Amino acid sequence: MAKCAICEKGAHFGNNVSHSHRKSPKMWKSNVKSVRVKTANGATKKMYVCTSCLKSGRVERA
């Protein structure tokens, strides 16, 4: 599973709990996109970035 290169956000694990309290495994996937990003020296690099980092402006798209 991909992780955000900026904030390290990845998949989270837990249980689905039914009405009768039976439990089955569940995975929540974070909204991570593959994006071309400008680096500090002006070059472009492809990396995985979550949408919350894209919205907040932590990353500048190429």
The answer to whether the predicted template modeling score (pTM) of the entire model surpasses 0.95 is no
Q: Torsion angle, CA of 43/47/52/55, rounded to 10 degrees?
A: 30
pLDDT (0 to 100) of residue 40: 86
Q: In the prediction, which pLDDT does 1 show?
A: 75
pLDDT at site 45: 94
For the record, the structure tokens of 7 come out as 């904030």
Boundaries of every domain in the chain: 11-56
pLDDT in tens, the chain (62 residues): 799 999 999 999 999 999 999 999 999 999 999 999 998 898 999 999 999 999 999 999 98
CA pseudo-torsion sign 52, 2, 36, 6: positive
The CATH number for 11-56, chosen from 3.40.605.10, 3.30.1360.30, 1.10.3720.10, 2.30.170.40, is 2.30.170.40
User: Which backbone phi and psi does 53 adopt, to 5 degrees?
Assistant: -70, -35
